[in-house]
């Protein structure tokens, strides 16, 4: 008798196939019914390109447009739609430490064609305000900002928008969008836990994810 004719093997394979189909159907239904407007900002890097120490600042002169400068910073960040619904008129308000001066910035959009306009609302001293006309799901805007005279590497980004969930994530803190403890990943693991063989592995990862959440709550 061939292995696939064995009733026990057939029952096990049938159970696995049925569980997988149930997971696929559940995910499909969840994605169709779960409408989320969410915009995230990832601060990739805040790098000091140049700084003058107190010990030598009286002996060293660095100028920009005939003005002495004490520091030059390059800031890289991106704003992206991580939900499953389009977001209109999304504000992006960037603030650096008092005393900083934003010289210039550049941006790239993905996709590069057919993207909603990115409008500059305000650019003065340590403040840069922009507005994105339309962010479809998975659309993103990548910024590079050059500033001078920053007393430190502090940066704040404000994304408040009506009926939109927003997050600001700093790569410096080790946070990522693909964190194991994210709600979507926990949902997938919960579904996989019902599948024979994979269930034990999925339940172990759920425990790790819950431990991460408890650990962050305690901080």
Q: Would you tell me how many other CB atoms lie within 10 Å of the CB of residue 33? A: 7
| Average pLDDT score, the chain | 75
- CATH for 38-173, options being 2.60.40.290, 1.10.1040.10, 3.30.9.30, 1.10.10.10: 2.60.40.290
Q: What is the mean pLDDT of residues 161-165?
A: 92
Provide the CA 158 distance to its chain's centre, in angstroms: 14
Rounded CA-CA distance 71/69 in Å is 6
* Distance separating alpha carbons of residues 23 and 199, to the nearest angstrom: 12
Cβ distance 173 to 97 under 8 Å? Answer: no
Residue 64: pLDDT band with limits 50, 70, 90: confident
Q: Where are the domains of the chain?
A: 3-34+179-217, 38-173
Name which of 127, 26, 43, 25 is nearest 79 in CA terms: 43
Q: Compute the average pLDDT of residues 30-35.
A: 62
* Model confidence at 180: pLDDT above 50: no
The fraction of the chain above a pLDDT of 90, given in percent, is 37
Beta strand 87-96 with 127-135 is: antiparallel
- pLDDT tens readout for residues 107-158: 999 988 767 789 999 999 999 999 999 999 989 999 999 999 888 999 999 9
pTM of the model: 0.64
Of the listed ranges 66-70, 104-108, 133-137, the least confidently predicted one is 66-70
**Can you spell out the DSSP letters for 81-114?**
E-SSS-EEEEEEEEEE-TT-EEEEEEEEEESSSS
pLDDT band for position 47 (cuts 50, 70, 90): confident
């Amino acid at each position: 008798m061939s292995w696939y004719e064995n009733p026990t093997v057939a029952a096990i394979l049938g159970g696995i196939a049925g569980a997988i189909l149930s997971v696929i159907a559940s995910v499909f239904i969840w994605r169709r019914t779960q409408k989320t407007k969410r915009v995230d900002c990832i601060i990739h890097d805040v790098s000091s390109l140049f700084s003058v120490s107190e010990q030598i600042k009286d002996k060293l002169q660095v100028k920009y447009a005939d003005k002495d400068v004490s520091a030059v910073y390059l800031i890289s960040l991106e704003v992206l739609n991580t939900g499953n619904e389009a977001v209109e008129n999304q504000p992006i308000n960037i603030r650096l430490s008092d005393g900083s001066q934003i010289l210039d910035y550049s941006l790239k959009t993905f996709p590069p064609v057919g993207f909603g306009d990115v409008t500059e609302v305000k650019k003065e001293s340590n403040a840069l305000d922009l507005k994105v006309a339309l962010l479809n799901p998975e659309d993103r805007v990548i910024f590079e900002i050059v500033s001078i005279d920053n007393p430190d590497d502090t940066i704040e980004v404000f994304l408040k928008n009506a009926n939109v969930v927003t997050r600001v994530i700093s790569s410096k803190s080790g946070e990522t969008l693909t964190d194991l403890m994210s709600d979507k990943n926990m949902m997938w693991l919960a579904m996989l836990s019902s599948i024979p063989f994979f269930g034990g592995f999925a339940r172990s990862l759920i425990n790790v994810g819950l431990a991460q959440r408890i650990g962050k709550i305690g901080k």
